[in-house]
Chain A
Amino acid sequence: MEQEHSTGSIKRITGPLVQASGMQGAKMYEVVKVSKEKLLGEIIELDGDVASIQVYEETGGIGPGEPVYRTGKTMSVELGPGLLESVYDGIQRPLKAIREQSNSHFITRGIEAHGIDRMKKWIFKPVAKMGDAVSEGDILGEVEETTLITHKIMVPFGVSGTLEEIKEGSFVVEDTVAAIKTANGNVPVSMIQYWPIRKPRPTKGKIFPDEPMITGGRSIDTFFPIVKGGAGCIPGPFGAGKTVTQQSIAKYCDAQVIVYIGCGERGNEMTEVLDEFPHLIDPNSGEPLMKRTILIANTSNMPVAAREASIYTGITIAEYYRDMGYSVALMADSTSRWAEAMREISGRMEEMPGEEGYPAYLASRTAEFYERAGSVICLGSDGRKGALTAIGAVSPPGGDLSEPVSQSTLRVTKCFWGLDGSLAYKKHFPSINWLSSYSLYVDNIKQYWRDHVANDYPEVRVSAMELLQNEAKLLEIVRLVGMEALSNEEKLTIEIARSIREDFLFQNAFDVDDAYTPPKTQYEILKSIMSVYREGLAAITSGEFEFSDFKALDTIKNLGTLKNIKTDAEFEAFRKKAHEEIAQLTVPA
């Protein structure tokens, strides 16, 4: 393949950036192999016959005059059965294959490895029949990739015609399983496809997302929900729990496929995911979480250019599963490291810097990335729907959100879970700040809530949030003049708001029972707390009333046990008892 294309020669090397001359006819984002060691790189700028190449491996020991081989292909990922349960580096090389080929525990360079195993056989079951008229995106057949996910083999993009031949049986991914007769002759179809990572995969169009993605996290699902096909961000200083929050969403959310990108983060964190996911059981299906997961691990000390690519590699794979009609969730931890990789490459190319040294195109690249999320009608004549939810962690320096990465992210994401360092310091987790966070998807899913959870769910949510707002104001006053200066009504507000914080929002991600709460239970807990407030309010404002009597009620003491309740009947019983106890308070002695 390489002989077909001319080779260039290295002119200049500075870190991960290599410039080569003699590259006339090269394409932007074409993949090249640099030097005799064949280090993988990608063309990111063309000027006459000089190409600037970002190299995905260490460039030590490479010098001017060495060859640069062109491949003619743009940077692409391999798509087909075998993606699930894989662990890749930023450019879709399986980390396991790197270890086996290099026979080393360290990442060495010049290793070529296929993203998808070429030897493994899969059982292909045809869905379409010979003679069917098929077009791009139509499902030809199915492969049971894992016990959770049936992989759909689709007609490749740009192909349509009549199905001339379709096979059934056991094949490797490169075997031809079908042939389509098109206007330009017969096109053989195998189970593997290629797609350039920087180009969004096409769909028939986006649709308005109206179904929540349930994460089992109480502060997310109830207070700041995200939809299937939405985009959200988790900014926070270090130690606030970004990774724990991302990981718990990846573990418990009701998306069918998870793509988790560890982008420039800690090596031990990826190891933790690798150790944990094969053993953790998905609460929605009862199968190990790994069976629906694809990991992309490009830790902070791995080559910086591959970190830049890892985000695109991940989202292209996610789009591919979306195109099969699945609901996919993508986690990127952390997009700040991705932006820093862009900044580093941009600096080496001596581009004019924008804010804080970031390139001027930071905002547009961020927007392009999050716009690849969405709820869509997939290609194909069956009109199936798929959704891709993108959630990015942001690591703002010093926790200051005025910096460029946070700002360009906030402009394009509609869910903002602001992690608060001071809450983390007080060991309140998840440290999602209930006053500054927001979700713009609440209106999208109101109807869903009313139909599937409870008719008054939106209203209960709003009243609880109001209470927290009021609490914040009252606490200011308490700090100045002490608790005794407050009226009974205000004391009640503080008492109930405390309960919302400690008994509802506080959630232990490491406690198996607490980490996942179904929406109905979330509603019941909050509803119970709010009914204590409503009824308490009527009682304590009915005349002279000693607030400590109210605080002494069993009901108040038991608010903390609400999250252990499992059945509706128990919630009913709790509210009934609360009602009786509070009514008892105002009976004259």
Chain B
Amino acid sequence: MPKIIQKEYKTVESITGPIMIVGSVEGVKYDEIVEVEVPGEKEPRMGKVLEVSEGRAVVQMFTPTTGSQIKDTKVRFRGETLKIGVSKDILGRIFTGGGKVLDGGSEIIPEKKINIGGAPINPFSRQYPNDFIQTGISAIDVMNTLVRGQKLPIFSGAGLPHNRLAAQIARQAKVTTGEEFAIVFATMGVTFEEAEYFKKEFEKTGALSRSVLFLNTAADPVVERVATPRFALTVAEYLAFERDMHVLVILTDMTNYAEALREISSARKEVPGRRGYPGYLYTDFSTIYERAGRIKGRNGTITQIPILTMPDDDKTHPIPDLTGYITEGQFIVSRELNTKGIYPPVDVQGSLSRLWSAGVGENKTRGDHAQLKDQLYASYAQGKETRELAVVLGESSLDETDKAHLKFADAYEQEFLRQDEYKERTIAESLDIGWKLLKLLPRESLKRVKPEMIEKYMA
């Protein structure tokens, strides 16, 4: 593999957690890849340079430092940054979180090798997201439409079915305009069972053939997790901007990612920010999330759904908080709906797709979409308010309009939000269910939809 003879160093000075300090080095560059050969091991361990000064390099290892030693360990600096080889054959393949082939197949013959760090898209070259992605889920497609080029995270909590939701989105998502569509799926620090679940789901439903999977599990090295989303996004950028595909990137779970970052930061003895996370967590997140988008003159798009579990369902925890400041809205998974047995338990009121209006309307979804969504939102909000009122004052105190709204709220949850995990609804089907439910309400309370729409869809 090495084309030129590289200098080997046996000058490891110290090892702390994932951080290794190498002395007496020469010509080492910032951010380059490091191979560490531990005596008695065949495969070298990998790392990268985090800091370099004259005669001393701080190396962050991607593999655990367990068993490595100061004496006799050989260190080689590769003179290049971390790269991944890509070609169109990458579709249908499964890799580790560190970019190694995991499915037992052959190595990818790379068309080119790309630095996984990526570069920021010039804001001048960006194109505003437009047109939608159909996920086949009413709560998303109608209420918080996902737009191509958007980054829209799922905020979930421990014990909630975000993995099932993610798998369902991955199975069903498509663009309705018939262009090529691909999924890049990356897991970070999930359990073995979850990783197997995803793998099986992709294989079982045939979604694998249009997907690329990067699987880092809880048993895999913590620091590898920091590279996993970057491998995934580099592949996504290749598929979108060089192969004209619409790519949906699903990253789960960003909470584990942030924790890996914290672990490295603390091993480096950096000054911590909030809750021990490094002060640059926001900037680091942005170098992942901002890799979604559209570029002028290119047909492909990158849409991102990062998934994170909010510690103790707390939206103000640094991970969801900083994510929310970068992403264009969020889906919130509701514990309340989940307890009621409603799947998918998407909290319609707390969720928000900032770009939804760019994805709906005539020629995209349907002309009635925007009005219908507003009406469903308003009526459901009123229904829920009535439900609370009924608890305090009793149902007998409600008037007819209130009762109708109460009934509507229940029906909305049961018929509109609730959806079988393997049932895909087209956008037209979802919208029609919405109209059907509006029949439960008196005409005069439908203020958000124009009378001609009512004529057309409720007759």
Contact = CB atoms under 8 A, between A and B. Distances in A.
Contact of A301 (B120, B297, B349): B120
B119 A106 contact: yes
A490 to B, nearest CB: 20
A12 B290 contact: no
Contact of B283 (A96, A297, A340): A340
Contact of A299 (B123, B317, B393): B123
Nearest to B314: A398
Interface in A251-277: 262, 264, 266-268, 270-272, 274-275
B9 interface: no
Given A13-B52, A267-B121, A268-B128, A62 B293 contact: no
B425 interface: no
Given A64-B54, A65-B54, A107 B120 contact: yes
Interface string B241-258: 100000000000000000
B316 interface: yes
Contact of A268 (B81, B126, B287, B321): B126
Interface in A287-341: 297, 299-302, 304, 337, 340-341
B119 A270 contact: no
Nearest to B50: A14
B283 A304 contact: yes
Nearest to A276: B128
Contact of A105 (B118, B125, B291): B125
Given A12-B53, A95-B124, A107-B122, A397 B274 contact: yes
B124 A96 contact: yes
B295 A14 contact: no
Contacts of A107: 119-122
Contacts of A361: none
Interface stretch (B92-100, B203-211, B265-273): B265-273
Contacts of A12: 51-54
Nearest to B118: A106
Contact of B321 (A264, A297, A398, A482): A398
B326 A95 contact: no
B304 to A, nearest CB: 12
Interface in A471-505: 482
Interface residues of A, number: 59
Contacts of A59: 30-31
Contacts of B295: 105
A71 B282 CA distance: 33
Contact of B316 (A61, A266, A343, A399): A399
Given A107-B119, A299-B120, A304-B283, A271 B328 contact: no
Contacts of A337: 282
B27 interface: yes
Given A98-B122, A297-B123, A11 B273 contact: no
A267 B126 contact: yes
A63 B28 contact: yes
B35 to A, nearest CB: 17
B327 to A, nearest CB: 8
Interface string A203-237: 00000000000000000000000000000000001
B221 interface: no
Given A61-B29, A267-B126, A397 B318 contact: yes
B81 A87 contact: no
A417 B268 CA distance: 40
A300 B128 contact: no
Interface in B265-317: 270-274, 279-280, 282-283, 286-287, 290-291, 293, 295-298, 315-317
A99 interface: yes
Interface in A25-65: 58-65
A270 B121 CA distance: 12
B120 A302 contact: yes
B241 to A, nearest CB: 8
> By DSSP majority rule, is chain A's interface helix, strand, loop, or mixed?
mixed
Contacts of B293: 267-268
B30 A60 contact: yes
Contacts of A61: 29-32, 81
A87 B126 CA distance: 13
Contacts of A340: 279-280, 282-283
Interface string B109-129: 000000001111111111111
B287 A301 contact: yes
A122 to B, nearest CB: 23
B286 A301 contact: yes
B329 A239 contact: yes
B325 A395 contact: yes
Contact of A65 (B27, B120, B354): B27
Contacts of A98: 122, 124
B411 interface: no
A419 to B, nearest CB: 13
B123 A270 contact: yes
Contacts of A63: 27-30, 52
B50 A300 contact: no
A399 B298 CA distance: 38
Interface string A170-186: 00000000000000000
A108 interface: yes
A353 B270 CA distance: 11
A300 B282 contact: yes
B128 A271 contact: yes
A238 interface: yes
A356 interface: yes
Contacts of B329: 239
B341 to A, nearest CB: 25
B446 interface: no
A400 interface: yes
A340 B274 CA distance: 12
Interface in A92-119: 95-96, 98-99, 104-108
Given A266-B328, A301-B287, A343-B279, A105 B321 contact: no
Contacts of B359: none
B361 interface: no
Contacts of B355: 268
Given A12-B54, A300-B283, A398-B315, 20 more contacts: A13-B30, A14-B30, A15-B30, A58-B117, A61-B81, A62-B29, A104-B119, A107-B120, A107-B121, A107-B122, A264-B283, A268-B129, A272-B128, A299-B120, A300-B290, A304-B280, A343-B279, A347-B280, A357-B272, A398-B321
13 contacts: A14-B50, A61-B32, A63-B52, A105-B241, A105-B298, A239-B354, A266-B326, A268-B355, A271-B127, A347-B271, A353-B271, A357-B271, A399-B316
